[in-house]
Structure 1
């Protein structure tokens, strides 16, 4: 009988579009839905109404003889009537009610600003309070009606208020106190609604305006108040990120807002560096303080929610480790940095492998690599007398010892391969670490001999120190059942012989 014909292969799936194209498509779809969704006619009509009010104010100021106070009062009365009508139909016709309320509130803000800026009918302080009340009222309506875009409109208007009403003579304390009130409002909204766009918008406005003020107006005399407000805003947005995660986690969504969780400490540390860069150990102590803050936040979050917000807790703990690591090079020179990073990297790698967390042990590997680079940088431009007095050979030996420890952790054991551990998929990594560790150890031993022993006895002691290292490698190979240490021992022996012969012919 003839064999059955081969089955046709299914067509290959089309290639997935790049990530940026997917993100752009989602953003465009959301913008199109917001702009054209719902009652489009109502939105367009109210936008035209708002623009018409602005032109009416300009026209009335030029051609109409009615007192400007009455004109503004009439426009404000019409806006209040529109607001009441929008509230009244909020249940029966929500597609029109929310745009009507937004247009009415925008008109009231515009009239208040025009009365202050264009016609000088209202003092700056009264206008400030009036606009703030309108912002609070807008956010309250947004929460009551679950209208995110109405809250966004109110917050944008709120952040614009001090800019619009500024006379150039205000106090930065008053400015940031006002922004603290706004951010407290965003925090209160975050307790009831998980509106990520509102949270990110508040974060962006707060820190962008703060950065602009810092570049243009900051003076050393402002340090105490500026430091207090920066710490307050940091606490605000860490709390907002926690509240967002608390509301989103039960819905099985991606509850960690990476923009806030990682963006806030990054921007805050940048601003903090600008505040304390002229203080002795200022940046280092700031990094330590941020690390302790995030470590405490991780602990408090774990006690409060347990494993319910495990990912957010791990993010806070990772930030604590990062800022603690960053404090070392900000406080010490390259030798101490490399020593601390070597020990820290070995510990992080051990914890990550023990808990089977690939991101953790990979971060530990990066810290180890950073310790090597920091030590090599510290060696540049060092003469023999300085190296002898500062015991640089101890740095070599410390890097070598921690390198051997990490190599043993990454060694592809049979148990790790059977369990499918993530490190077992990179068997070459442990081998690379062991090779580099042996180079550090041999370099430290030979550096000590070269600096402390005269030329006549130098060759013999170089061979003896290499022989001691070879014995240690042979013992390690038999102890853990790994052939690579024995092979490296053979290479060290050959290298020691070559160096000994070279010194004999030289002297």
Structure 2
């Protein structure tokens, strides 16, 4: 598995290089830059994925762990990005050169570390011989288990078989076969269009060569089985393709003769597969047979022709599966017929083909019902005690074939209720008869119960089918709710899946009637949305119900809540009229979620309610954001009335309460809870100071941050140890400084003004959260990389402090603000240089006094940035006197730092 991951990483890196070079030549350099950045991050992640397991091994073998900082790599990457942004090629080159240098140094240290680990492991292995003996026994057991697994391959999953076929054995041989099949298709197309010989002679030559290849493979089967089977599969594929080209080019003008030839080739395939006990040969031949109609250069097959042709192939699969328990053929036949055949009929079918397609669909259903029944018989005879159906494709053969077949009939006879009811009744009678015949055999008792369930399912479909128009949607929804309740009480998985299918059908049908009907179907959507909510409440109403809910069912419940919230929001907007309809709708749904949340918490609902609740409130945030954007004018929120303003505040607080109840949701998924709470508080906070939205949006989140800081409960600290909270804070720091149009409102003095005070408070909270990330890294060996945390700390301090300075300079000296001209302004550049050096001085002095080595390194990084700024900007972009003062001031402070703030010695372990 690790080898496969490494190969995938190498392929990913090569793909990035190819795309980057190609984009450069096509003059789409932005794609090249993105690929280059992705390449850099991928390489760092790749090497990091090697270093972390090696450090774990080093800890186990008692080797001192060497932490290699990636801060220089991040700084070099940032320098390159800045150079690309400012179109400074020399700065890009400098950043790339520095990145390559530090990366190679990182690799060299990693190589030395790897040598130490290998040496230590060799010493440990040489001192313990017993583990090697144990390993030998384990290897023998593993080989025996592999042999047993080969014997039991018929019970493996389809994906397991596909992975084994692709990644095991002789991959070169498999690639060669695929390439040769493509070559045969191209050869036939070329021969059809260009060769001067008659088409019959051309196709006869290809057919004879294919027969010879098949015979050669049969002769070599005792010498090299895998190679022989590959040759036989290649030859049979050539015969199938040649026959199709011959028929559709009218070399074989009679469909009866073509059918006989096809039957002969199919019989040869069946005979060879059974004689050699080779499912691989059958798979290769059947797959080529399925694909063959789409290789034709002349015309496309009609929908009836393709479905009838697939019927012949599925008959051959039925013959094979009747004699051998090769369920992969059943699964592939079912999937190809349902997906490829169904899509082809959808795009190429015509109304006049309805009767023929109906008969063909029923024939396919009959075949796959037999396949599922026969496969179960064969497996049960082999191992009755351990027989158990797989939960995916095996059940799909029993339930999927008749249900999907009925779905095709439902779509063809959508407006003919009595036809559909008749089909459903006939299906129910048929499966009742099969149940009566199969229940006598105790070895397939589970299968007989499945057919009984199918009979009940088709019987249950009749009432909603007979309802007319939009009332059929109401019938699907209510019946789905009732069956879901029955499934929970009876602990029946089949009934639960049936209820889920009915609810999906109800939702999809409602979209059709939404477009079809002249008036908006209010009653239909109220019934549908309330049914969805009732299903979620019912699933979480009792502890024994919650135990039956799997992860997939929880995802389904989440989709139900998302759909219900969207429908109710639209319905409430239609119900309320006047200026307050938007805020009333938001308030009602927020309060409804709060009440529902409290009720289900009283019923001790767990994660099966929390996840649907979190996903279900998403439409409320989207709607609130649209409302905020709609009232925004020139960077100011213009509320039409106080009801909307304070209604938004109440809605935000209600949503915050929903996210924080229960508190254990923080332990379950703190990223989602943190994102939801901070977003809710931000929405509520926007109502406080509408004239200064960038300040207003941060008030309640900052108050909540301060409250959590003084709490002794570790869960509140966990709330802020999230990437989502860091991302939101970082988003505010960037957007507020760049886009706020009220940054100078109520400006008294630097720092003593609303915008600067909020910016400093955000910075303090952001640094506190970064510190929590560092603690999490030390305590649990998880969390963000310390290099990234250091870079974020450095950039956040420089960013906000620089903007505080820029605002002061703009107020007192009329310097540019948020304009590219500020890089040419001498006063701005001198002030930034002195500010950054002063910050480095404060940080490094404090670090020396308190012996905090990481803080000193952070201050040193600021000095590095100052030095780069002096050389790259101040040396060429500002006036002579200012440039001299900038260099002298920076150099003098650096001299003081070197004297009073030397680097602290590292702490001894």
Q: TM-score range by the shorter chain?
A: 0.5 to 0.7
CA distance in 2, matches of 1:231, 1:365: 24
Report the equivalent of 1:202. Answer: 333
Alignment of 1:278 onto 2:412: no
- Equivalent position of 2:358 in the other structure: 227
Q: Aligned to 1:90, what secondary structure does the other structure show?
A: helix
Distance 1:150 1:325 in 2: 42
Is the 8 Å Cα contact of residues 241 and 292 (structure 2) preserved in structure 1?
no
Write the distance in 2 (CA, Å) between the matches of 1:365 and 1:43.
44
SS in 1 for 2:222: coil
- Aligned counterpart in structure 2 of residue 155 of structure 1, from 269, 283, 286: 286
Q: Is the 8 A contact 2:424 2:461 kept in 1?
A: yes
**Deviation, structure 1 residue 243:** 0.7
Query: Which of 254, 257, 261 in structure 1 is aligned with 2:388?
Result: 254
Q: 2:465 is matched with which residue: 325, 330, 333?
A: 330
Q: CA RMSD for the aligned pairs?
A: 5.0
Q: Does the CA contact (< 8 Å) of 2:218 and 2:232 recur in 1?
A: yes
2:211 matches 1:80 = yes
Contact 2:206–2:242 under 8 Å retained in 1: yes
Q: 1:27 to 1:298 in 2, by over 3 A?
A: closer
1:352/1:121 CA distance change after superposition, 3 Å: closer
Distance 1:288 1:90, change over 3 A: same
Q: Is the contact between residue 389 and residue 395 of structure 2 (CA under 8 Å) also seen in structure 1?
A: no
Q: CA 1:319–1:162 in 2, change beyond 3 Å: closer, same or farther?
A: same
Q: Secondary structure at the match of 2:435?
A: helix
Q: 1:184: how far off? A: 1.8
TM-score, normalised to structure 1, is 0.55
Does 2:260 align with 1:123?
no
Deviation at 1:48, TM superposition (A): 5.0
Q: Classify 1:162/1:113 alpha carbon distance in 2 versus 1 (closer, same or farther; 3 Å).
A: closer
Residues 332, 123 of structure 1: alpha-carbon distance in 2 compared, 3 angstrom cutoff: closer
Q: Report deviation, 1:203.
A: 1.7
CA distance in 1, matches of 2:498, 2:232: 54
How far off its partner does 1:330 sit?
A: 2.2
Rg (Cα) greater in structure: 2
* Deviation string, structure 1 residues 44-71 (Cα, Å, up to 9, x no partner): 5555555555566677789987776555
Query: What SS is found at the alignment partner of 1:89?
Result: helix
Give distance in 1, aligned partners of 2:415 and 2:461: 18
CA distance in structure 2 between the partners assigned to 1:62 and 1:211 by the alignment: 29
Matched, 1:301 2:438: yes
Contact 1:358–1:422 under 8 Å retained in 2 = no
What is aligned with 2:700? Answer: none
2:544 and 2:196 mapped to 1: Cα distance? 81
Cα shift at 1:245: 0.8
Superposition deviation, residue 248 in structure 1? 1.5
Distance 1:295 1:154 in 2: 36
- Structure 2 residue aligned with 1:97: 228
Preserved CA contact (<8 Å) 1:139 1:150? no
- The structural deviation recorded for 1:87 is 0.9
| 2:448 corresponds to 1:313 | yes
Distance (whole Å) between structure 2 residues aligned to residue 142 and residue 211 of structure 1? 30
The answer for the alignment partner of 1:404 in structure 2 is none
Matches within 5 A, 1:105-504: 105-115=236-246, 121-123=251-253, 125=255, 126-127=257-258, 129-164=260-295, 175-207=306-338, 208-219=340-351, 221-249=352-380, 250-251=382-383, 252-255=386-389, 257-303=394-440, 305-306=441-442, 308-332=443-467, 359=493
The farther-off stretch of 66-75 and 282-291 is 66-75
Q: Separation in 1 of the partners of 2:205 and 2:499?
A: 69
Deviations 1:359-415 (A, max 9, x none): 589799999x9xxxxxxxxxx97xxxxxxxxxxxxxxxxxxxxxxxxxxxxxx9xxx
Q: CA deviation at 1:185?
A: 1.6
Encode CA deviations 1:411-445: one digit per residue, 9 max, x unaligned. Answer: x9xxxxxxxx979x99xxxxxxxxxxxxxxxxxxx
Unaligned stretches of 5+ in structure 1? 1-24, 370-379, 382-411, 413-420, 427-507
Which segments of 5 or more consecutive residues in structure 2 lack a partner in the other structure?
1-155, 504-521, 524-541, 549-909
Flag the 1:310–1:422 CA change in 2: closer, same or farther, 3 A.
farther
Secondary structure, in 3 states, of the residue corresponding to 1:194?
Answer: coil
1:320–1:123 Cα change, 3 Å = same
Q: CA separation of 1:54/1:227 partners in 2, compared to 1, >3 Å: closer, same or farther? A: closer
Residue in 1 that maps onto 2:98: none
- The CA distance in 1 between the partners of 2:297 and 2:187, in whole Å, is 24
Residue 444 of structure 1: aligned partner: none
Q: Give the conservation status (yes or no) of the 8 Å contact 1:109–1:131.
A: yes
Q: Whole-Å Cα distance in 2 between the matches of residues 41 and 189 of structure 1?
A: 29
The count of aligned residue pairs is: 355
CA distance in 2, matches of 1:165, 1:177: 17
- 8 Å CA contact 1:345–1:366 kept in 2: the answer is no
